[in-house]
Structure 1
Amino acid sequence: MEHKCFTAECLWILLRSMVMSLIEKRASVYSVICSIEQCDTPAKEAVRRMEEFVKAGNGHFKILYTQTDGEHDHFGGGETGEHLSIALDSASQEIAAWKEGHIQSRIQDLVREDASWNGLTELALVHAREQPANSTYLLIKVNMILLEWTTKGCTRKQVKEKLQQPPSSLQDCYDEAIGTIKKESRTWVLIALRWIACAVRPLRPAELAVAVALSEISGLAQRGDGGESKDMSGIKDMIRRDILGDMRHCMAPLIKVENNRVCFIHPTFEDFLLTHKPIPGHSKTGKSKDKERDVDCQILEQCLQYLKHVGPLALSSIHSDAIQHFLPNRLRIWLGDIRDSPLA
């Protein structure tokens, strides 16, 4: 069940069943929870209920909560005063062992694909140990994903150099991920990332493909390369049939598909994209309010163009698995934003 998202109701049912099974079988398990911001109950109440499951498990059930802002470190075990914090201490011996275990496991996988990695496990561990003790498990995980991408086709010497300069923060990782997108595909890949980050709900791969095509054809029209912006009939020839496969060839694998919905491997990448607003066609990320406003207005304009021109074409012109109904969701939110905007 790695990397799964649950509603609050499903989570509590799952935890209760797991604890009962563990007690019966006298087994032990760790459950790693990355985020609880989306629970129906407040975060504090969710943590309190999780602690009850930890106590009920009599040592067989342990939860590691990977959010490292310290917000929930103080929650304890009730009247006895026993401290049963489930917040993950990044400097603990347990998480240090998890970090090293993950590095060893990933390098073993990489050795099977590329002999250049053979014998480099200890070098990777040495430099990982030089990182601050409170560096997160997530940082190690994302860095290993990035290393797999950035060392493709590298010599053994180049791989060693990469291992000797590990990133010190998630932002460094994500900056490098954006910076290493293949140049010839950079524009459309950044458009796809923007759509994934801005969507009011996770998009299906087919929906993402049409959203990217819509953005691309709108861009051609604005530059005068594709006729009038209202002529959207050519969109059917711009839809990528395997957009996720194409993205995997162009950038580090920081996206995934769950239940036919596209999402990021961790919410921090979405936060990075929404905060830094990498602009298609630019090599650096931009933070100016003008750029941010322009990007949002462009997406809104594309939504309106879709509703006016592409919607009627969907049933007749677009392949049946790419019929789209996703943009009205975003419009409901943006129309209110625009009314309150200083540009309105």
Structure 2
Amino acid sequence: MVLIPGIVAIHDEMIGWRHEFHRHPEISFHEHRTAAKVAELLRSFGLDEIVEGVGSTGVLGILKNDEGPVIALRADMDALAFSDQGQHDHKSTADGVTHACGHDGHVAMLLGSAKYLSFSRRFRGTVVFVFQPAEEVTGGAKHLLEQGFLERYGVQSIFAVHSFPGLAAGRISITPGTALAAVDNFKITITGRSGHAGAPHLARDPIAAAGAMISRLQTIATRTVDPIDSVVVAVTSIQSSSNLHNVIPESVRLKGTVRYLNPAYGKPVPMEMKAIVDGVAAAHGVIASIEYKRSTPPLINASPACEFATNVAKSLLGDDGVVQLPPMMGGEDFAYYLQRIPGVFAFIGNGEDSASLHNAAFDFNDKALPVGASYFVRMVETSLPL
């Protein structure tokens, strides 16, 4: 591992930023304190332009050095709405909010690269540092794109890294092709006729229909989809209109998620779900409806960009420091950027004994900070050579 000395020199500073962000987490589209701190630091680094309020609470930092190509580097800023159960001195001070997905570390790494590059200027072209809000609700990337920052600055490629538990701290994984799944969400409402639990024949039981519906939905992945492909149809919430032990409720609501790696399943899966919902409802004498919402598309790392990013990572970490994780069923709104321009979404190891992402005890591994920042810097220097 041969990291950039100027990045290693500001490791402690990056740790300080990261811990401050962890102590003061903010949920999606409410990253006001975080964004203000980011903008303050970018100004102190001497960037050429700082744009605040992008996509609601996002921040762009623009660094120019002569004419040349334009590259963007992205970090997400939002936290999750549950309490921090970590055992560290930088524990969240916000009630019911914590950085359990590593976004505090992502921001600190990008700030570190911005500080170094603003001083070194060892590139020819423009770097756009993208501090994005609301990745967790998969809306932030779309908001930024709708405001046209790619067109405004002529961005030609974009790169990001995300913390990954289970991978040795500081190692980088780059998966060519489809790396993460599409994320769709659904809500099914089943309406029957309420009644006394001791006289079920006088009611139309939506719970019985819901049970049959849940079981039947699982056959989509096992009987409708090619076994070579991966599709998940998961019912994750069941809510009844009654919580009494002796009442058959009037209605039941199911919520869940659909995941798939192959975009071709984006149309047939919801169609099959509707057919199942309608069929089961008819068989049980109830009324049912389904609301299906598309959230993010599959995240696809284009092959030429992957080869480039892999070589950049290996120049820092050596061949053994760069791995290729298999595709996963998690989702990321970075996929929206990759639908528009080339780029790569990489993972950076958080340690083999790390708590999982979205776990209340998760904490970003500070050892990864100089690795991620060096990766960003080397990406810029290699993409925009003097």
Q: Please tell me the TM-score bracket, short chain as reference.
A: under 0.3
Q: Higher relative contact order at CA 8 Å, sep ≥6: structure 1 or structure 2?
A: 2
Greater helix fraction, Structure 1 or Structure 2:
1
Greater strand fraction, Structure 1 or Structure 2:
2
State TM-score, norm by structure 1.
Answer: 0.27
